[in-house]
Amino acid sequence: MQRNIFEDAISRLDTAFADANVEAEVLEQLKHPEQILEVAVPVRMDNGALRVFTGFRVRHDDSLGPTKGGIRFHPNVTREEVMALALWMTLKCALVGIPYGGAKGGIKVNPKDLSKLELERLSRSYIQRVADAIGPQTDIPAPDVYTNAMIMGWMMDEYSSIVRRRTPGVITGKPIPLGGSLGRDDATGRGAYYCIKELEKKYNWQPSNIKVAVQGFGNAGQHVAGLLHQDGYKIVAISDSQGGIFHESGFDVPSIVKMKNETRRVQAVYCDGSVCEAVDSEVISNEQLLELPVDILIPAALEDQINASNAERIKAPYIVEVANGPIVSNADSILHKKNTFIIPDILANAGGVIVSYFEWVQNNIGLYWTESEVHQKLKQIITAAFHKVLDIADERKLDMRAAANVHALNNLQTAIKARGTQEYFNMG
Ligand code: GLU
């Protein structure tokens, strides 16, 4: 039988545990999410019919602070997936040193099938069902796959009416006028970009010689591609859930972002103002994109894209995991043998939750920062985490994923130990 995604995530943690030198009960605690909520989410559809969707909210571990993590709307959402994503949030926050535990939420739905009004009712209905589990000091949701700032705004509104008090700190990734933070929108892509800039320095890269393929063109994929393109990197392949495009000499990323946002499709175009023309390109599939002979591969879509069946064919020497969990554990040893350098998800995509943390802090103190302050603080935190992981990897001869997990486990251990573990209680 195929292992489920949560078990797969735990098996990686078992491997890290062997390297981490932390007490067994740290691992024991992390294997069991604190709270798993499954809710029925009723929605009155535009045609008058009632539909009931299934929603989840998993609070994984709050040793380091209130739990934090996005809400995704996707037809393939499952309980195990949300559990794995919540565990990764715990590790992510611990790794970059922000005072949060991990959580995640999801609704099993294809949001593309819903009207805007149905989407609003769905978002509000979900909050009515999970309101007792969330709160600015307990659990703070945010956007994830197929959710956005407007949805966060509706959710904040709904929560505020339930508790009869305006509560911007209950959710992050909100629209700016509703208490959002400047710089939250591109934060996930920007965090990955700052990590890549450190690699650029380390290896003395000339951006115009570096070919990049980006799988997934949602919020994170668009921004990381845009920032790299601005610096002269060649973005030679881009895809979305429908398929992809490839051109050896690279695309004009802002034109493709513009078309994607107007037509919901990735198309090979060059736009001068509002006039867009088709440019040369080859149509490729998502699977083909992953196997292109590029320098940097950026999976920025969903989990389980690279596994034992295609890992051997991956040619990129650098992979930056902007999606959560794009590489399954059975691909690890194959990529390791090929010497692929991987910036793991809990580091590469931590920019989102880091700026969510800034948003929450700003909501709590009622004082708002400029965009450049946000960029600078984000750069500082993620660059420091990147170097910490690199140092651990070098010192202990680990790959970057193992090193990131080791560092996260060590940070979690400090908080778990501070409350006493077996060692403390046995001392009598
Ligand atoms: N959904 C994002 C993630 O996976 C952001 C979470 C947040 O901002 O809380 O990291």
- Asked if residue 203 and residue 122 are part of one domain, the reply reads no
Residue 278, sorted as left (phi over 0), alpha (psi -120 to 50) or beta, turns out to be beta
- Give me ligand 1 centre to Cα 219, in Å: 12
Q: Which of ligand 1's atoms lies nearest the C-alpha of 92?
A: 10
Determine, yes or no, domain membership for 333. Answer: yes
- Asked if residue 215 and residue 343 are part of one domain, the reply reads yes
Helix (H) or strand (E) holding 234, with range, is strand 234-240
- Give me ligand 1 centre to Cα 208, in Å: 31
- Give me ligand 1 centre to Cα 70, in Å: 5
- The number of folded domains in the chain is 2
Count of CB atoms situated within 10 Å of the CB of 288: 17
Determine, yes or no, domain membership for 252. Answer: yes
Atom 8 of ligand 1: nearest residue by CA position: 353
- Give me ligand 1 centre to Cα 280, in Å: 36
Helix (H, G, I), strand (E, B) or coil at 197: helix
Q: Tell me the average pLDDT across 179-194.
A: 98
Atom 7 of ligand 1: nearest residue by CA position: 353
- Band (pLDDT 50/70/90 cuts) for residue 103 is very high
- Give me ligand 1 centre to Cα 283, in Å: 31
CA nearest 353: which of 20, 17, 101?
101
Q: Using CA atoms, how far apart are residues 67 and 35, in angstroms rounded to an integer?
A: 11
- Asked if residue 141 and residue 192 are part of one domain, the reply reads no
Q: Which of ligand 1's atoms lies nearest the C-alpha of 144?
A: 1
Q: Using CA atoms, how far apart are residues 259 and 256, in angstroms rounded to an integer?
A: 5
- Give me ligand 1 centre to Cα 106, in Å: 12
Determine, yes or no, domain membership for 115. Answer: yes
- Asked if residue 194 and residue 170 are part of one domain, the reply reads no
Q: Which of ligand 1's atoms lies nearest the C-alpha of 349?
A: 10
- Asked if residue 163 and residue 104 are part of one domain, the reply reads yes
- Asked if residue 203 and residue 331 are part of one domain, the reply reads yes
Q: Which of ligand 1's atoms lies nearest the C-alpha of 140?
A: 9
| β-pair partners for 331 | none
Q: Which of ligand 1's atoms lies nearest the C-alpha of 145?
A: 1
pLDDT at 2: 57
* 16-65 tens-digit pLDDT: 888 888 999 999 999 999 999 999 999 999 999 999 999 999 999 999 99
Determine, yes or no, domain membership for 12. Answer: no
Domain of 84 in residue numbering reads as 31-178
pLDDT at 357: 98
Q: Using CA atoms, how far apart are residues 366 and 354, in angstroms rounded to an integer?
A: 18
- Asked if residue 199 and residue 339 are part of one domain, the reply reads yes
Domain boundary among 132, 148, 178: 178
Helix (H) or strand (E) holding 87, with range, is helix 79-96
pLDDT at 426: 86
Determine, yes or no, domain membership for 369. Answer: no
Q: Which of ligand 1's atoms lies nearest the C-alpha of 350?
A: 10
Could you tell which of 87, 144, 360 is best to mutate to test the pocket of ligand 1, judged by most ligand atoms within 8 Å of the CB?
A: 144
- Give me ligand 1 centre to Cα 347, in Å: 12
Q: Tell me the average pLDDT across 265-273.
A: 93
Could you tell which of 60, 356, 361, 362 is best to mutate to test the pocket of ligand 1, judged by most ligand atoms within 8 Å of the CB?
A: 356
Cβ < 6 A, ligand 1 pocket: 68-70, 142, 144, 172, 324, 349, 352-353, 356
> Residue 16 contacts by C-beta under 8 Å, 6 or more apart in sequence?
402, 405, 406, 409
pLDDT at 424: 87
Domain boundary among 348, 367, 398: 348
* 140-176 tens-digit pLDDT: 999 999 999 999 999 999 999 999 999 999 999 999 9
Determine contact, residues 127/159, Cβ cutoff 8 Å: yes
Q: Tell me the average pLDDT across 367-377.
A: 98
Q: Tell me the average pLDDT across 83-98.
A: 98
pLDDT at 18: 87
Q: Quick check: is 337 catalytic?
A: no
* 106-120 tens-digit pLDDT: 999 999 999 999 999
- Asked if residue 341 and residue 202 are part of one domain, the reply reads yes
* 232-268 tens-digit pLDDT: 999 999 999 999 999 999 999 999 999 999 999 999 9
Helix axes 351-365, 371-396, angle to 10 degrees: 140
Q: Tell me the average pLDDT across 410-428.
A: 88
Determine, yes or no, domain membership for 214. Answer: yes
DSSP state of 145: T
Determine, yes or no, domain membership for 191. Answer: yes
Q: Using CA atoms, how far apart are residues 370 and 397, in angstroms rounded to an integer?
A: 40
Could you tell which of 88, 349, 355, 381 is best to mutate to test the pocket of ligand 1, judged by most ligand atoms within 8 Å of the CB?
A: 349
CA nearest 375: which of 366, 385, 383, 367?
383
User: Is-above-0.95 flag for pTM?
Assistant: yes
> Residue 72 contacts by C-beta under 8 Å, 6 or more apart in sequence?
85, 104, 105, 106, 107, 144, 145, 146, 147
Q: Tell me the average pLDDT across 354-369.
A: 98
Q: Using CA atoms, how far apart are residues 68 and 60, in angstroms rounded to an integer?
A: 9
pLDDT at 428 over 90: no
Helix axes 219-230, 253-263, angle to 10 degrees: 160
pLDDT at 1 over 80: no
Residue among 92, 104, 197, 260 flagged as catalytic: 104
Phi then psi for residue 244, to 5 deg, are -140, 180
- Asked if residue 261 and residue 162 are part of one domain, the reply reads no
Q: What CATH number did the domain enclosing 329 receive? A: 3.40.50.720
Determine, yes or no, domain membership for 22. Answer: no
Phi then psi for residue 285, to 5 deg, are -95, 170
Task: Name the token pair of 258.
Answer: 């513009």
Q: Which amino acid is at 120?
A: E
Helix (H) or strand (E) holding 103, with range, is strand 101-108
Task: Name the token pair of 329.
Answer: 């554990």
Task: Name the token pair of 336.
Answer: 């390791």
- Asked if residue 246 and residue 134 are part of one domain, the reply reads no
- Which residue shows structure tokens 């910490």? 388
Could you tell which of 62, 188, 353, 359 is best to mutate to test the pocket of ligand 1, judged by most ligand atoms within 8 Å of the CB?
A: 353
Helix (H, G, I), strand (E, B) or coil at 402: helix
Helix (H) or strand (E) holding 185, with range, is none
pLDDT at 422: 86
pLDDT at 86: 98
- Give me ligand 1 centre to Cα 52, in Å: 26
- Asked if residue 70 and residue 35 are part of one domain, the reply reads yes
Determine contact, residues 10/37, Cβ cutoff 8 Å: no
Domain boundary among 323, 348, 373: 348
Q: Which of ligand 1's atoms lies nearest the C-alpha of 69?
A: 9
Q: What CATH number did the domain enclosing 75 receive? A: 3.40.50.10860
Q: Tell me the average pLDDT across 358-384.
A: 98
Q: Tell me the average pLDDT across 177-204.
A: 98
pLDDT at 427 over 80: no
pLDDT at 213 over 80: yes
- Asked if residue 229 and residue 92 are part of one domain, the reply reads no
Count of CB atoms situated within 10 Å of the CB of 265: 13
| β-pair partners for 243 | 240
